[in-house]
């Protein structure tokens, strides 16, 4: 699979292309903004509606396709992803700036997801349930929901779509996807691999475009038109709330995977070397552009000084720059927009009483340099790492997701105070604690409100067979990955089959045996 520039304004894809849009947008390489990777067109509202109608029509046949056959197509996808792993990884790195080794991990997670769900095609189990009546059978079945529409973010352009679409397709749903406008070329090839895996026409449809007042907004409108039965979204809390409101009005329960302000606690008995490495990765992996990135580093006051000394020494040694260089810690932001948002956060969230532990801050340039920079800073959108101390719970920065290489430092006196600081941001996605005391670990597991937590490990790093998702402002309780996600893409049907040849009334005609209540010992 070659990395070719698409010069035409591709706007809609269903195994074949439609190029009727006049509203074009470019995909830029964030490490070299002069490198225009592709030009895409935003799908029009009629095209979005057409994609949903195609999916609705295809559902009539796809839902009746045996689940093991559906899963065999996902098996084919996994094989194609493996065959094209390096080429697709390079597209990810070129298009959104993720370091090449992380890009390989992004694609590998999609491969792992395919491998896991192949077997689930033979395990969409229901149950036989004993009846309280004679000559009567009770059954339960998992049924597909219908048309699943999804909008995904650009920070994990292969892994996250696989979390949604692999189980959705295995379960028998048809799909309409609006990928991030930051990674359209990656999304184009992901869709092509799905088609080459053997999906029938109309089962998987892609509408390219932007969000507000564009393709994404029009896709959300299709819920109200009755063309979408389930909605998924990975992105900001604000947009997730709007989607939740729309779905709620139509009695639908969306999959919402939103932002985070993830805490990492280091207690007095922690392995400091291990914890420093965990904080470094959680804070600066993918340039902090993960929903699970570190937000608040909470240090026991007794180890604050040695921990920060060690952490800042490590930070000063990291390499930033060319994402194709295997030795870097992080590359550019996903786009100019993400960099501008990061710079705005530095201007608006840092208050006079805060202390910046890192210098310089802002954007790396040829004149404003990072000593261990690899490549040409002036060609891309690179941020400095930023660590902010003296943060209080009343500060806006404490409870604002910043989505960049920026995190706060706070202190605690004990585990109770640490848990309170960890829980009170309003978010509840990921979390971590470093300690070797079983009693503290037990209390942490019991009382942390986040949907995911790690003990002596980083806040980031999901595995394809464990439930992924958050609570509070981080999501609506839905979970991706593992067997738990099947509850998002199937609905339960109860079947009551009476073979008695007469009307039998449950709870009224039931032949319960009465006890002899006169008997005493």
What residues act catalytically? 291
CA 119 – CA 97 distance, rounded (Å): 34
Q: What angle do CA 518, 520, 521 make, to 5 degrees?
A: 165
Per the DSSP assignment, residues forming a β-bridge with 26 are: 39
Going by C-alpha positions, the residue among 255, 208, 242, 247 that lies closest to residue 228 is 247
What are the E-state strand segments in 88-195? 127-129, 136-144, 147-151, 174-178
Q: Is the dihedral of CA 306, 308, 311, 315 positive or negative?
A: negative
Q: What angle do CA 479, 485, 491 make, to 5 degrees?
A: 115
Residue 227 and residue 126 in contact, taking contact as beta carbons nearer than 8 Å: no
Distances (CA, A) of 164 to 11, 17, 157, 174: 22, 23, 12, 12
Please report which helix (H) or strand (E) contains residue 356, including its range.
Answer: strand 355-356
Order of strands, edge to edge, in the sheet holding 406-412?
355-356, 386-389, 406-412, 294-300, 262-266, 432-434, 454-455
Burial of 313 (0-12, 13-18, 19+ CB in 10 A): exposed
Residue given tokens 């979005």 in the structure block: 48
């Amino acid at each position: 699979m070659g990395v070719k520039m698409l010069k035409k304004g591709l706007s809609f894809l269903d195994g074949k292309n439609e190029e009727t849009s006049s509203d074009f947008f470019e995909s830029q390489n964030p490490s070299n903004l002069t490198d225009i990777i592709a030009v895409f067109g935003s799908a029009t509202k009629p095209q979005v509606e057409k994609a949903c109608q195609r999916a609705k029509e295809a559902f009539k046949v796809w839902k009746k396709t045996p689940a093991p056959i559906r899963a065999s197509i996902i098996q084919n996808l996994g094989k194609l992803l493996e065959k094209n792993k390096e080429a697709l990884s390079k597209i990810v790195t070129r298009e959104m700036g993720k370091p090449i080794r992380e890009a390989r991990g992004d694609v590998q997670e999609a491969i792992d997801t395919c491998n896991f769900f192949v077997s689930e095609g033979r395990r969409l189990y229901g149950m036989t349930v004993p009846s309280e009546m004679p000559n009567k059978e009770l059954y339960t079945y998992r049924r597909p929901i219908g048309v699943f529409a999804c909008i995904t973010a650009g920070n994990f352009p292969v892994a996250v779509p696989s979390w949604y679409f692999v189980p959705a397709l295995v379960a028998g749903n048809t799909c309409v996807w609006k990928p991030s406008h930051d990674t359209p070329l990656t999304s184009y090839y992901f869709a092509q691999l799905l088609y080459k895996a053997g999906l029938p026409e109309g089962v998987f449809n892609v509408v390219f475009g932007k969000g507000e007042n564009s393709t994404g907004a029009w896709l959300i409108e299709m819920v109200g038109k009755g063309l979408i039965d389930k909605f998924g979204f990975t992105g900001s809390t604000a947009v997730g709330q709007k989607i939740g409101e729309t779905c709620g009005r139509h009695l639908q329960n969306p999959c919402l995977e939103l932002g985070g302000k993830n805490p990492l606690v280091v207690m007095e008995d922690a392995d400091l070397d291990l914890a420093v490495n965990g904080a470094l990765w959680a804070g600066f992996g993918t340039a902090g552009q993960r929903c699970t990135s570190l937000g608040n580093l909470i240090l026991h006051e007794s180890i604050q000084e040695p921990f920060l000394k060690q952490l800042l020494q490590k930070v000063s040694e990291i390499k930033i720059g060319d994402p194709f260089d295997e030795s870097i810690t992080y590359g550019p932001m996903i786009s100019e927009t993400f960099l501008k948002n990061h710079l705005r956060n530095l201007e608006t969230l840092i208050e006079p009483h805060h202390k910046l532990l890192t210098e310089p801050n802002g954007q790396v340039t040829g004149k404003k340099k990072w000593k261990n920079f690899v490549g040409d800073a002036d060609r891309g959108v690179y941020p400095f790492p930023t660590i902010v101390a003296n943060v209080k719970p009343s500060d806006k920065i404490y409870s604002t997701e910043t989505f960049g290489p920026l995190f706060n430092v706070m202190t605690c006196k004990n585990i109770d105070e640490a848990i309170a600081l960890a829980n009170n941001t309003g978010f509840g996605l990921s979390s971590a604690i470093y300690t070797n005391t079983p009693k503290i670990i037990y209390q942490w597991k019991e009382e942390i409100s986040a949907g995911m937590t790690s003990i002596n490990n980083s806040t980031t790093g999901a595995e394809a067979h464990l439930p992924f998702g958050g609570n509070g402002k981080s999501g609506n309780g839905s979970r991706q990955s593992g067997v738990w996600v099947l509850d998002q893409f199937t609905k339960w049907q109860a079947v009551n089959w009476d073979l008695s040849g007469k009307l039998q009334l449950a709870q009224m005609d039931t032949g319960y045996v009465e006890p002899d209540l006169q008997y005493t010992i």
